[in-house]
Structure 1
Amino acid sequence: MHILIVEDESRIAKRIERMTRDIFRDTLQSLTHINTLYEALQFIENNTLDLVLLDLNLNGDSGFDLLTTAVSGSFHTIIVSAYKDQAINAFEYGVLDFVPKPFKRDRLEKALHKIISKEKTAAKEIKFLAVKKRQRIQLIPIADVLYIKGAGAYTELFLAEGRKELHDKSLEKLEQLLSYSFERIHKSYMVKMSEINEIIVESGSKYIAELKNGERIPIGRTKYKDIKMKWL
């Protein structure tokens, strides 16, 4: 695990660091603390990470200026902030959790354990997926995403009107974030359930989800019964 803490209050940063070390123990390979927005942006651009713990107020700078960059990365982002009124906005961008300050140990532990357990978030507020586009970040509305295909460490987002975008997050990480409206129907595919028009059984025990736009996506044999039940 490679973890970055972005927090301008030294006392809070040290507390987060202690708890992070206690939870991840031997799996923790690096833990870095940065207290300014600019340095954090530079670090994220130049280092491999698994998790960013981000405050939303950094010496007067808004953490939201960093958030859109963070959520476009391959790692998960957890907000640790006193700005509770910004929780819904943060979830809209696709954070794994929002821990309000002041926080108790068990609340931060619960958030960090989502990384270990790969627990699916119950948040329904996610409205965008941020993708990197030639030195800028583009926000893709969830409403435009029909299905998602795993492509190694990355994913391909298949959108309305035949568009396609590449996302840096793996299928597993997106599954954690989008489980309220998407289902993992195959080891390589997640589909928005409302886009399924028909479930087809072909010879040789092949199962297919036909979408409203006519595209056909394979359904894994072990997932067929569960997907059919949820779709009906």
Structure 2
Amino acid sequence: MLNILVVEDEPLVQQRIVRLVREILGPAASIDSAMSLDDADDALRRRVIDLLLLDLNLQGEDGFTLLRRAVASTFHTIVISAHAERALDAFALGVLDFLAKPFPRTRLAQALERAQAATRMSGRGAQLVGVWRTHGVALLPVDDIAWIQADGDYTALHLVNGRRELHDKTLDRLQQVLPAAFVRIHRSYLVNMQQAEALQVEGGGRYRLRMRGGTELPVGRSRVQAVRERLL
């Protein structure tokens, strides 16, 4: 199943894209749609996607804003735009394909075939995580993250160098896209096991995981065995 998000602000164009994708992929596709950057952000928070079909001009907003965020995600992106002159900039940000409007059905079918092949080859496992900074999005290698802590509607990324960064996705959402080295040890903690040193038993049957640098994090009882196996 290919989970797809179509981001297009012209209703008729959006309907055509969705219809063609359904015709080409049939039951192999689950399709959601959005008409603005805010709607797209909401959709990306709600579900994990495999493929983004993105217009670059969204009610006066620049789709490149979303494209830059997508660099740190595990999904692939196909740009569908009338602005063919922006193709080189899009490819520089790692898009899988660029379809110039108007496009024939055969061209979309070709792009979707590439997306299916790329998804089968890459699987899950983001190598970069995007965090907001004053002047835009900064990309952090996931190996720089020691552990991640729930912080209300956000998460706090605790880095190997001691810094702390806020992220706008929940622990559940991050766990779905990060590499297997990241293990949920508690409802509030997701840990990079490459940075873990030892499992410690405390009084009352409580457990804590000691990280490099000395920080100790609580381990839920139901997760102790999984943590112990990863430390072997």
The reply to whether TM is greater than 0.5 is yes
Q: Which residue is 1:49 aligned to?
A: 42
Cα displacement (A) at 1:150? 1.0
Q: Which residue is 2:34 aligned to?
A: 32
Cα displacement (A) at 1:134? 2.2
Find the aligned partners of 1:6 and 1:78 in 2 and give their Cα distance.
14
Cα displacement (A) at 1:129? 0.7
Q: Which residue is 2:78 aligned to?
A: 81
SS in 2 for 1:213: coil
- Residue 7 of structure 2 aligns with an amino acid whose one-letter code is V
What percent of counterpart residues are identical?
A: 31
1:164 aligns with 2:127: no
Gap change, CA 1:164 and 1:222, over 3 Å in 2 = same
Gap change, CA 1:135 and 1:44, over 3 Å in 2 = farther
Find the aligned partners of 2:76 and 2:63 in 1 and give their Cα distance.
9
Q: Which residue is 1:219 aligned to?
A: 219
Find the aligned partners of 1:214 and 1:90 in 2 and give their Cα distance.
41
- Whether the aligned pair in 2 keeps the contact of 1:130 and 1:137 (CA below 8 Å) is yes
- Whether the aligned pair in 1 keeps the contact of 2:52 and 2:75 (CA below 8 Å) is yes
Q: Which residue is 1:147 aligned to?
A: 147
Find the aligned partners of 1:14 and 1:184 in 2 and give their Cα distance.
39
What 5-or-longer segments of structure 2 have no aligned partner?
80-86, 97-108
| 1:200-226 deviation digits (Å, cap 9, x = unpaired) | 011111111001110001110000011
Cα displacement (A) at 1:63? 7.0
Find the aligned partners of 2:153 and 2:43 in 1 and give their Cα distance.
12
| Superposition pairs of residues 1-232 of structure 1, within 5 angstroms | 5-6=6-7, 11-16=16-21, 23=30, 31-33=33-35, 43-45=36-38, 49-51=42-44, 54-55=52-53, 66-70=66-70, 78-81=75-78, 89=94, 101-103=111-113, 122-124=123-125, 126-232=126-232
Find the aligned partners of 1:218 and 1:153 in 2 and give their Cα distance.
20
Find the aligned partners of 1:57 and 1:210 in 2 and give their Cα distance.
46
SS in 2 for 1:68: helix
- Whether the aligned pair in 2 keeps the contact of 1:155 and 1:166 (CA below 8 Å) is yes
- What number of residue pairs does the alignment pair up? 187
What 5-or-longer segments of structure 1 have no aligned partner?
34-42, 92-98, 112-120
Larger-gyration structure (1/2): 2
Cα displacement (A) at 1:45? 4.5
| 1:155-191 deviation digits (Å, cap 9, x = unpaired) | 0000122100000011000000114110001000000
- Whether the aligned pair in 2 keeps the contact of 1:81 and 1:100 (CA below 8 Å) is no
- Residue 111 of structure 2 aligns with an amino acid whose one-letter code is K
Q: Which residue is 2:82 aligned to?
A: none
- Residue 20 of structure 2 aligns with an amino acid whose one-letter code is R
Find the aligned partners of 1:213 and 1:163 in 2 and give their Cα distance.
13
- Residue 32 of structure 1 aligns with an amino acid whose one-letter code is A
Find the aligned partners of 1:44 and 1:63 in 2 and give their Cα distance.
7
- Residue 43 of structure 2 aligns with an amino acid whose one-letter code is D
Cα displacement (A) at 1:132? 1.2
Gap change, CA 1:157 and 1:90, over 3 Å in 2 = farther
Cα displacement (A) at 1:46? 7.2
Gap change, CA 1:127 and 1:64, over 3 Å in 2 = farther
